[in-house]
Amino acid sequence: MKKINIILFAILGLVFTSCQTNVITFSNEPVDVNKYTELRVLNVIPVTGNSDTLLFNHLNYSSVNTALGSYYPLSTPKYFVVPFGNDSISLRFLAKTTTPAVAAFTYRGMMPLTKGKWSAYIYNAAQNPILLKDDDNIPSSDAWADTVCFVKVANFFMKSDGVTPFGKITLKAKKNIVGADWETLAQDIDFGTQSAAYYKYTLKNTNNVKPWSGSEPNITYAIFDSNGVQYQYFTSATTSVKGAFSSAGNSLAKGRAYVLYLNGKEGVTNNTTQLIRLGSFNPL
């Protein structure tokens, strides 16, 4: 009986210990917005390998492997807190072995950082990033009655040499409805710039109820020039046949703000050297 009691007390002790709550805490403090910039980094160089090891002012901020054309680190668009001033940035690029191949290199640049939220677009291996302000003051809307979201567009698309800016672009959207027209989200956006203001996009009510909260799926985007002509891209890896470019299967959600950023480059004679990427992030 004594042995049974000892075993019972041991079991009860384990149960008691397992039910205890161990709180894990992380040191944190509010960002002093009068001393520090909130900075997002995006890799929009037309052709590179993946990147990792992000440094600001020679300090390692992140070492996550991130794909070409994405914000850093991959799949998690973070803001990094960096002090005001002329700050240095360094980012290691891994070798790209597929065609077109690119050797490994370390990018280095400088950024004059000031108050606010900013996105740093690394667009050229030998140039400083282009800084664009992330506007978190979106137009007012009724969170209950309105079924809208807000969109800005940034342009980092280049010609086939990967260095010369393509020029101004207009981005349009089409709803997944028979007979739907193209809707202009942003017009004549020059290289290295973004929309001056958010465009209020009214979402299609897929459930036909009101009020409604959700997202609109299967939106198609397309690029147009200032004359309203849809951009033509190479459709084949073996010939110079071209067709109208569009990007299908996109979605936008109610109440959200988006920055859609076009990057990449045109092809030379076919689509083996063509890279057209349309990314997005939430600037809030």
What's the confidence (pLDDT) of residue 283?
Answer: 87
Which pLDDT tens digit goes with each residue over 54-111? 999 999 998 888 888 888 777 666 899 999 999 999 999 998 888 788 899 999 999 9
Which tokens hold the place of 226?
């200032």
How far, in Å, CA of 260 to CA of 20, rounded? 47
Catalogue all structural domains in the chain, each as residue range(s) with its CATH number: 36-133 (2.60.40), 148-281 (2.60.40)
Beta bridge partners of 169: 189
Whole-model pTM? 0.87
pLDDT of residue 2: 47
Task: List CB contacts of 213: < 8 A, sequence separation 6 or more.
Answer: 147, 254, 255
pLDDT tops 60 at residue 17: no
pLDDT beyond 60 at 41: yes
pLDDT of residue 12: 47
